[in-house]
A and B are shown apart, each in its own frame.
Chain A
Amino acid sequence: MPSQRMQVTDQDLQYFVNTIKSVSKYDFSEYSEKSLKRRLQKILEDYNLDLTSLLTSLRLDKDFLEKVVKEVTVNTTELFRDPPVWHLLRSRILPRFKNNKTINIWHAGCSTGQEVYSMMILLNEMDMLDKAKIFATDLNSDVLDAAKQGVYKYRFNLGYLDNFDKVIKQNPLNFEEYNDIPYEKYFDIDKVRDTITMKKFLTERPIFRKHDLVVDGNIFFAKFDLILCRNVIIYFNYSLQNKVFKLFHNNLYPKGTLLLGMHETILGPWASRFERLGQAYIKK
């Protein structure tokens, strides 16, 4: 255990945020304070630094700053995370786009890409992958690299296979239904190397870009039928959440759908501009 440390104060957090804002384009000023405090605390503990030296290093060392920014962000994801959401997509959301010529999908905050591959697998099972244009962004270039590789640990992520079974093989609305889709159709499991490796036809499809939701806006010159931004806005404060909702709303086609995380809700001014269906918010 690291030695006892002074708790990060509001003042400390302010210094930290201001420093980063002044030397880079990153802006954490509208991030959730409590979460950001804990991240800062963690960084101070991991690097065994006090705040002053951390801020000095941030000013002097661009690489270090990038590293710290990467550590501030949380990258929790898994294959077919929250299976009910995927059932919702399968049964209620995606069928709406069945007759579209193209389907533009944006994974905002795609992390290490499991969500992107889950989406592509589901689309493929629904014979819609050919129409789909997949865009995936994240603030953290390291996780983007991992996402492009499409290689994941096997043993630690045994849950992926359960999720795959729940979403692809089973149908919660009809327990007798069972589609025996082999894993090898989409990924190779190497138990010796302890890896799950996505097939090439999946990894070469999405367009991965580094993107900051706070400042970058829409970088794709396209509107979207579906935007997935799950478990991202919990790290933002109310004001930033609304800005992000605005961004998404503006870049959705009419009847386009925004998918939020299990515990995320649109409250406030943008709530009335969406129709809610579970975790899906459909642009009115």
Chain B
Amino acid sequence: MKAFANMKLAQRIQLAIILLMVVLFAFAGLTLNYFSRTRTISNAVKEAYVYIDKLIDIANIIEQKTGKGLSSNDIFELKPYFTKPAYNKTDFPSLISRNGEYVLHVTRQGARLPMKTIQEIKNLKANEGFIHYQDITNDIAENRLLVYKYYKPYNAYFAISVSPTEVLEQVKTNRQVMIIIVILASLISAWVVSLILMPITKQLANLSARLKQLAQGEIPPAIKVADRSELGTLAESLNSLIDGLKGTTEFARQIEQNKLDFDFKPLSKNDQLGMALLQMRESLKRAQQEETKRKEEDNIRTWINAGLAKFGDILRQNNNNLNILADNVIQNLVNYLDANQGGIFMFKEYESEKHLELLSAFAYNRKKFLQKSIMLGEGLVGTCAIEKQTIYLKEIPSDYIAITSGLGEATPTSLLIVPLKLEDEIFGVVEITSFNEFAPYQIEFVEKVSESIASTLNSVKNNIRTRELLEQSQQQREEMAAQEEEMRQNMEEMQATQEEMQRKNLELEIITSAINQSLVSCSLNDDGFIVDSNLVFQEMTGYSKVELEGMLLESLIVDTQREEFSKLWKSVLNGQSINTTLHLIGNNGRERFLLTSLTPGFDPMGLLIKVLLLGHDITESKKIELMTQQQAKEIEKNIKRIKKEQELSNLRQREMETLLEALDQNCLVSIIEPDGLITYINNKNVEVLGDKKEDIENRYLQDIDYTAKNKPKEFERFWKSLHKGIKQTREFSLNVKGETRWVLENFTPIMDETGNLYKIINIALDITENKRKEMELNAVIEQLKQQLKK
């Protein structure tokens, strides 16, 4: 069955028809065969009756001859009629007695019919008839037909045993012919059938191939329509299906290529796919519209977010320089909004005068910085600052901007002024103008950014202030340290100088006394008058000191030498040291020869102070003149020394004064004796502490010092340390005219050669300003700390 199911339809039809033909023909043949056999058998039976009747006719004749009953004569007489078969080879006639004994038979004479058969015949009670029986000869059973007729005279049966096989032998050939006819007929009918089915199956195959392609999603070419049969209709439908599919596919393609306005008509109102595609296109259109809308919204959101992030970054950077920050902000804001001009005004408060100051401006990509100040409430910008509300104007008179906005001469179409406010506190104003209108979201964006700017301005202001304060205090501290170090070095230099001078003074004193004992010495002013003279000079000239003062040296020189001396004097005044031998005439005409050196003395600026004359009286001994000259050379050297030493000692006092003067300018200087007596205070003291000079000088430190009065022990320690030569520093504050003044005192003990205290110098600094700043700073730091805590 399975093989059948797999067959093609045409094959199935062919097979079924062939089988049906064969069965039909076979049935007809068999029927014919059956009827011919029955007729043949019955014909044989009839023929047997005829043959038996003939035998009976013969027997009747014999009976008449022989008498009644069966006698051997009869048998004899009858015998020849029984020796040959009737119609066929084995249908020998027989005479059978009532008990079944073959009375007369070619071969079976004496034998018996089977008991069963004779019994059946007897039971039939008919005189004639036929019966099927099994003839057993030589143990071979054979179905045979016994046709009989009772013959009363003999009380026996005339019978003929017909073999059906033999009878039917002639029918057999008919059957073979019939089979051949059946086969031929079947073949012919099969051929005819397949001939009829051929185009149909072909069309079917075409259809099925296309349907198969359709099933696989392909679109096959159209099919040829052969006729108007059902198959033709089918093919037509298939073609229109293919056409429809082609159209729909094209439509779907267009949709895929996003051509949503492609002209498409569905195949019918019930075209599910077409309608579905149309619906899809509609929803796609809708989705696209929504997408466009959403994209726009997204773009705006992105624009806002990116902008906020961008300005967040800008505000984070540069927040230590307000101007750079403002420049960056306004430049970027104007560019970001695609506007044309912009300005940032910062709110400032100077001694209760509130105004807005233009921090940065941006115009046409060119910075147009104008130092502009706008009062609160003045123009639109000032109004915005007061009302703390955004102002947006779409129509601006052409001359309006220049007057009120402060951004110059341009005449833009839109003006946006946004306050920079943080928690309702105003920090400034941003003004932006554009030739385009501002969208609401742009205005909203500027407002948001403004908040950030305000917040940053606030913190930048705070930062800058804090940093300034910190830097200030740090700088002050460093300066203090540097100043202290410098002071220490100055002190060291002063001390070293002092020591050097002391050393030289000592040397100088020795030399001076030596000179005064042995050499002639006097000093002259630049006009040549004697200012001072020593004893040796006085003795030599015979004049007293008073007499010599104011005397021209030239007047002592002999006339002959005066001209020469004038020349020498000029070179001395020009700065040259001159060695010469002077011929002097003293009191009472004393004649003296003086080996002399004349040395000019200059001050640091190179101005002549005096001329020093040193000399040796060489009059006394000409013998020792040479020696004296020798000595004079030696002396000459010393003279130079002395000259310088003298000058130095002169300068020393002046120097100290200069130093004190210098100290005077910056420091509070006071000089204290070892017993505490204050011998000197400078004007700075008076200036800073307000004490009058006469109130302090010539009083004892222990009497007026605050520490001495209130902390005697501490003062004692302090005082003892000073006596040991240890420098002391202390700091104190004082109320001067209602103002607290801070003073840093440095007490420097000056020890003499023997290590005893000679003097105490107190150099004090007014550090009030530093203290105040330090306190201010502390206050600010404290304030910041509290802010941080908040």
Contact = CB atoms under 8 A, between A and B. Distances in A.
Interface of A: 1, 4, 7, 32, 34-35, 38-39, 42, 74-76, 82, 84-85, 87-88, 91-92, 153, 155-156, 172, 194, 231, 233-235, 238, 261-268, 271-272, 275-280
A92 B489 CA distance: 31
Contact of B492 (A35, A88, A92, A172): A35
Given A74-B496, A234-B493, A267 B606 contact: no
Contact of A264 (B482, B500, B637, B721): B500
Interface string B590-605: 0000000000001111
Given A156-B483, A272-B640, A35 B645 contact: no
Interface in B442-494: 475, 479, 482-483, 486, 488-490, 492-493
A92 B606 contact: yes
Given A32-B496, A153-B479, A271 B637 contact: yes
B486 A278 contact: no
A271 B492 contact: no
B82 to A, nearest CB: 173
B726 interface: yes
5 contacts: A39-B492, A156-B486, A263-B500, A265-B648, A268-B641
Contacts of B482: 153, 156
Nearest to A93: B606
B575 interface: yes
A267 B651 CA distance: 16
A272 B500 CA distance: 20
A278 B647 CA distance: 10
B637 A272 contact: yes
B489 A76 contact: yes
B505 to A, nearest CB: 11
Contact of A277 (B499, B575, B648, B652): B575
A141 B725 CA distance: 33
Interface string B632-654: 00001100110011001001100
B495 A38 contact: yes
Given A38-B495, A278-B606, A262 B655 contact: yes
Contact of B604 (A156, A234, A262): A262
Contacts of A156: 479, 482-483, 486
Interface string B707-736: 000000000000001000110110000000
A76 B490 contact: yes
A273 B222 CA distance: 135
Contacts of B637: 271-272
Q: List the 6 closest pairs (A to B, CB-CB), nearest first.
A: A84-B605, A84-B604, A35-B496, A234-B496, A88-B606, A263-B497
Contacts of B501: 263
A252 to B, nearest CB: 18
Contacts of B641: 267-268, 271
Nearest to B577: A275
Contacts of B575: 275, 277
A155 B479 contact: yes
B507 interface: yes
A272 B636 CA distance: 9
B504 interface: yes
Given A1-B728, A156-B482, A265-B504, A278 B496 contact: no
A278 B640 contact: no
Contacts of A155: 479
Contacts of A261: 497
Contact of B605 (A42, A87, A276): A87
Contact of B500 (A38, A172, A234, A277): A234
Contacts of A84: 603-605
Max count, chain A CB within 10 A of own CB: residue among B483, B486, B489, B604: B604
Given A234-B493, A278-B605, A76 B655 contact: no
A84 B605 CA distance: 5
Given A4-B726, A76-B493, 19 more contacts: A4-B721, A7-B725, A32-B496, A92-B606, A155-B479, A156-B479, A156-B483, A156-B486, A233-B500, A234-B493, A234-B496, A238-B503, A261-B497, A265-B648, A266-B644, A275-B577, A276-B644, A278-B604, A279-B604
A241 B189 CA distance: 157
Nearest to A235: B496
B602 A277 contact: yes
A194 B475 contact: yes
B606 A76 contact: no
A156 B495 CA distance: 22
A267 B604 contact: no
Given A1-B729, A234-B497, A265 B605 contact: no
Contacts of B490: 76
Contacts of B606: 87-88, 91-92, 277-278, 280
B499 A34 contact: yes
Contacts of A271: 637, 640-641, 644
A183 B200 CA distance: 123
Contacts of A32: 496, 499-500
B483 A231 contact: no
A189 to B, nearest CB: 16
A263 B651 contact: yes
A144 B605 CA distance: 29
Interface in B3-38: none
Contacts of B729: 1
A11 to B, nearest CB: 17
B645 A75 contact: no
Contacts of A34: 495-496, 499
Nearest to A280: B606
Contacts of B507: 267
B257 to A, nearest CB: 70
Max count, chain B CB within 10 A of own CB: residue among A38, A84, A268, A278: A278
Nearest to B637: A272
B655 A265 contact: no
Given A271-B641, A271-B644, A88 B493 contact: no
Given A34-B499, A153-B482, A74 B492 contact: yes
